[in-house]
């Protein structure tokens, strides 16, 4: 079966790539577009490491067929800030020591961004619920929650 032309807007830029219908958004982002900041974890929708924003909403990119993103806006961690101009959430994660091995961090940051856009002043319980689809096996979440809370107040 033939490849199909996929057009999307990734981090504000128009991209075009020919993909097999079986490819997930995760695989296309990482393997065709080289955006390896989006992590491949469980590939079953349990860990949240592959979280991206699709039309502004947090989704597991391993559970989206790439062709279902046809014509849509996708935001990955590469679009969140630049090394010389970090996003406030990125700054806060560093300041609060919310990054250990770093594998969950891209997904965690995008879930946090989606949460704060919807609810700029979440309670701690709302933050917990907002990142409940992202597993972190290092931090115990306490510092991640503090980092998000700090941005929400500022």
Least Cα distance to 81 among 12, 29, 152, 136 occurs for 12
| 111 is an interface residue for other proteins by CB under 8 A | yes
- By CB under 8 A, the residues from 12 to 31 that bind other proteins are 20-22, 24
Which one of residues 28, 33, 59, 127 is an interface residue with other proteins (CB under 8 A)? Answer: 59
Helix then strand then coil, in percent of the chain rounded to 5, is 40, 20, 45
> What's the CA gap between 145 and 13, in Å, rounded?
31
Least Cα distance to 134 among 154, 104, 99 occurs for 104
- Cα dihedral angle (75, 115, 112, 89), rounded to 10 degrees? 90
| 48 is an interface residue for other proteins by CB under 8 A | yes
Which one of residues 15, 17, 63, 138 is an interface residue with other proteins (CB under 8 A)? Answer: 63
| 58 is an interface residue for other proteins by CB under 8 A | yes
In degrees, rounded to 5, the angle at the alpha carbon of residue 111 between the alpha carbons of residues 65 and 8 is 35
Binding mask 86-105 for other proteins (x = CB under 8 A): --------------------
By beta-carbon proximity to other proteins, the closer residue of 57 and 95 is: 57
- Least spacing, CB of residue 84 vs other proteins, in Å: 30
By beta-carbon proximity to other proteins, the closer residue of 45 and 88 is: 45
């Amino acid at each position: 079966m033939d490849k199909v032309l996929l057009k999307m807007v990734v981090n504000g830029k128009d991209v075009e790539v020919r993909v097999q219908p079986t490819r997930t958004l995760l695989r296309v982002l990482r393997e065709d577009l080289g955006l390896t900041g989006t992590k491949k974890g469980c590939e079953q929708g349990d860990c949240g490491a592959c979280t991206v924003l699709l039309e502004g909403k947090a989704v597991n990119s391993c559970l989206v067929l790439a062709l279902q993103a046809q014509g849509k806006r996708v935001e990955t961690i590469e679009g969140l800030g630049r090394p010389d101009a970090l996003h406030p959430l990125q700054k806060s994660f560093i300041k609060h020591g919310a990054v250990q091995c770093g594998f969950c961090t891209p997904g965690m940051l995008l879930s946090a961004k989606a949460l704060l856009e919807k609810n700029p002043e979440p309670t701690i319980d709302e933050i917990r619920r907002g990142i409940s689809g992202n597993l972190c096996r290092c931090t115990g979440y306490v510092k991640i929650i503090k980092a998000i809370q700090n941005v929400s107040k500022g």
